[in-house]
Chains A and B, each alone.
Chain A
Amino acid sequence: MTNTWIEVCSINDVPENGGTCVKVDDKQIAVFNFTRTGKWYATDNMCPHKQQMILSRGMIGDKAGEPKVACPFHKKTFSLETGQCLSGEDYHISTYEIKVEAGTIYIAI
């Protein structure tokens, strides 16, 4: 099954090695520009811990090579690849497919 790609923003809207939040219908999606590896990621913007709409403002980085984002509130971290919480708790966020074409970012939900 293929999802439809939705245009969300321009690559200039996302800071290097950082994230931004986009609205797709009524959903908030965090888009990350992992400049150091040249990869892009899209995840839920909501942190499942206290259900805060914030992950796009989290710091990104890696844990033993696994790309991750840290929630600004209580620093729980999540894999950008799998959405799994990496700080030892049972939380999970959804990740979405993302592609960049001619400077425009598309995600598939």
Chain B
Amino acid sequence: MKNILKRRVVVIGNGMVGYKFCEKLVAKNSDKQFEILVFGEEIRPAYDRVHLSSYFTGTSAEDLLMAPLSWYTENGIKLVLGDPIISIDRDHKVVTSLKGVVANYDVLIFATGSAAFVPPIPGVEKDGVFVYRTIEDLDMTIAHGKKAKIGVVIGGGLLGLEAAKAVSDMGLETHVVEFAPRLMPRQLDEAGGLILKNKIEDLGIKVHLNKNTASIEGEETVTGLLFKDGTELKADLLVISAGIKPRDELATKIGLAVGPRGGIMVNDMLQTTDSNIYAIGECALYKNMIYGLVAPGYEMADVVVNQLIGAEKQFAPYDMSTKLKLLGVDVASFGDCFGTENECQTIIYEDKQKGVYKRMNISLDGKTLFGGILVGEAENYNMLLQTTKNKIVLPPNPEDLMLGARGGKGAAEGSGVESLPDDALICSCEAVSKGLIVDIVKDASDIDFVGVKASCKAGSGCGGCVPMVKDIIAATKKSMGIMVRNTICEHFDYTRQELFSLIKVNNLTNYNQILDKHGKGNGCEICKPALASILASIYNEFILKQDTIQDSNDRYLANLQKGGSYSVVPRIPGGEITPDKLIVIGEVAKKYNLYTKITGGQRIDMFGAHVSQLPDIWEELVKAGFESGHAYGKSLRTVKSCVGSTWCRYGLHDSVGFAIELENRYRGLRAPHKFKSGVSGCIRECAEAQSKDFGIIATEKGWNLFVCGNGGSKPQHAVLLATDIDKETCIQYLDRFLMFYIKTAEPLTRTATWLNKLEGGIDYLKQVVVNDSLGIAQQLEEEMNFMINTYKCEWKEVVENPELRKRFTHFANSKETDPTIEFKVERGQKFPVNWVS
């Protein structure tokens, strides 16, 4: 079919922005009025440079691709890879590639991005000196890193710190060298930079500020750095991350205007000085500014696509607010972060011990937020950014905005999305406004986050806006009069608490029966384990009676490991074990060639068993008096103990004995999530009881009981529930507390999160558990007693039942173990080989 109007668009560069341009143009190209031809210098199609560092931690080059090669073909895009454009004839509108491909264009797009800026330090050409921009750079760095011990990164900005993480992930001693007196000088002020420095140094990375590198030492290969102040630093691997340099060499060659410090000059339409040629992304210089982030690049792509289809859209100065996780530390800066563009007053919050720094620059009348900085904790970033951008009038205590709800009470998470105007930009990567999300929800009121994401791409980029998108969905539904409840999944229109009651009251014992009666469809991987947990918490029946509704670890009573083998963790209550039992573990591990490790829970884990070996291994362990440690279950893990009064010169009571008693009492008890405990013999707290779901510390007069602590990703200290109580009272409160949690928490909610959401907080919990304000204490205790009395070791049941043992095979039609499971040997033990990518 002929189309005389067909226009050929040639794109130079297939990086993140070049790709996004294609994606956006394809979406508008339904009449096939454009023919798209893309030249990329790199050998692979565009990949996600923003997440480049995850390449060090196992993400494959494939995983990083923005879209597979097939995507380009399917959308009629011709993609030439590994072949840069080297000359352009503007008069005849023809481009020529290195390999000699010649193509004419109607419209030409420069999306050539930038290269790492390498300052002219003597010695930069030496072996072992790298930049950090492409997958090839990373491959070379990784290869060299295998022989290196000390890695140094020049540059303490955003990219430098990313590179430092990568160097430290390679296991090298890591140093960061920064010219300025603080880290991230462009985003952080002095105090913020200092907090970040402390946090990074806590990770074992050394930071050297105020350092101007004079030369790079070494014969052929780098051996160190010499600074202008005369000091030196050893290095056998060096990554230079001192900034970016726009790739404008081709543009310069063909006479397009470029800035004095680089970058192809563009106007509001993103046209270069040749109106048929546009420049977008990191190569474009707009109003004297190079935008080194993806979001403005994507916006540029959108502007040009709009130009091409004849719509009116112009580029405007773009907000450079960012929120990042650098080396595990949240860092965000937004708006006028230094408070230099406005007359303002500053509110600062600093907690040096926790490593948190927050700063807000507000107007003198206290009504407007201009900008600020967050280090160490940036949960409220989205709301603060929106408040700044939309000039929302600040509340009387503006610090609440940055400090959030304090003292476990107060504003619910995400409150406030209602106050945002419809044009508030929520997802800056994909330029999605609040209004668009609201409209999508209004059109399809049963839509969820996944649906919204599919429909407008919000949240598909860096992911930073996801919580806010979810809040907007919930708020919109609420405004439409739809009750938003945390129903379990598409198959059950009930909360976990409601289902718990329904099952109990109606005496339902079987998943299918419950699905038929109270649900719809055929279930899924969310409601099956959730219901399995409820059933176990009510009836305490052997969980393999309904094995296919159990999560995979529960189904095999062992933890699934990388590669497909399983681990075995026998219970060692309180961490106390006899030499004979230690020997048994050693013997079993040796016999089945299992990797052994002391866990963080005071017991021993044996890894690398084939599924078919599990019953045999358990049989030997059970015979020696061990039982399942439920390391696989959402149930009690361990009760850690300190050695306590029996040995310790400070010990007040027998913490080991109490820990063992508690571990045996609650072993196997299924709950909405796993729960852990610790008992310490005095306030020195060697068992870390205050970081546990329940923790007990001996006092002169008895025991103090703490509840709802958490380690893990969001650590939280446990809070005091009762003081100076005796053992019996302690157990009584615990029975009530645990059963109350089991009955009311949402699926996969640890006690800490449960308490955070519990209306009334710890005061209410105290009322229920200690003062029996709901009059349910006796019932809770009885329910707990039932659970304790019906406990059985699950491993033993399998060991003794030939029918059950048969289920532990890899193949139904062969006795073989899985031939794809492979191990390697390191430090004298076996390990799974890494994920294949």
Contact = CB atoms under 8 A, between A and B. Distances in A.
Interface of A: 8-9, 13-18, 20-23, 28, 31, 34, 36-37, 46, 50-54, 57-65, 67-68, 70, 72-73, 75, 77, 88, 90
B525 A61 contact: yes
B810 A61 contact: no
B547 A59 contact: no
B487 to A, nearest CB: 15
A61 B511 CA distance: 12
Contact of A21 (B454, B523, B811): B811
Nearest to A50: B835
A9 B521 contact: no
B812 A57 contact: no
A102 to B, nearest CB: 17
Contacts of B450: 88
Given A23-B814, A53-B564, A88-B454, A63 B490 contact: yes
A52 B563 contact: yes
Best-buried of B490, B552, B555, B812 by chain A (most CB within 10 Å) = B812
Nearest to B525: A70
B836 A51 contact: yes
A65 B555 contact: no
Contact of A64 (B68, B490, B547, B810): B490
B564 A52 contact: yes
A34 B814 CA distance: 23
Contacts of B548: 15-18, 59-60
21 contacts: A8-B813, A9-B812, A9-B813, A13-B812, A14-B812, A20-B812, A34-B522, A36-B523, A57-B555, A59-B524, A59-B528, A59-B551, A60-B548, A61-B522, A61-B525, A64-B490, A67-B522, A72-B551, A72-B560, A77-B524, A88-B453
A84 B772 CA distance: 52
Contacts of B835: 50-51
A17 B548 CA distance: 7
Contacts of B527: 61
Contacts of A28: 811, 818, 820
A13 B836 CA distance: 30
A53 B525 contact: no
Interface of B: 68, 450, 453-454, 490-491, 512, 521-525, 527-529, 547-549, 551-552, 555-556, 560, 563-564, 807, 810-814, 816, 818, 820-821, 835-837
4 pairs of A and B residues whose beta carbons are closest in the complex: A72-B552, A18-B548, A61-B524, A70-B525
Contacts of B525: 58-59, 61, 70, 75, 77
A63 B807 contact: no
A23 B811 CA distance: 7
B812 A90 contact: no
Nearest to A13: B812
A109 to B, nearest CB: 14
Contacts of A23: 811, 813-814, 816
Contacts of A72: 551-552, 560
Contacts of B820: 28, 46, 53
Contacts of B528: 59, 61
Contacts of B552: 54, 57-59, 72
A51 B560 CA distance: 14
A83 to B, nearest CB: 16
B818 A59 contact: no
A48 to B, nearest CB: 10
B561 to A, nearest CB: 10
Contacts of B812: 8-9, 13-14, 20-22, 31
A12 B820 CA distance: 26
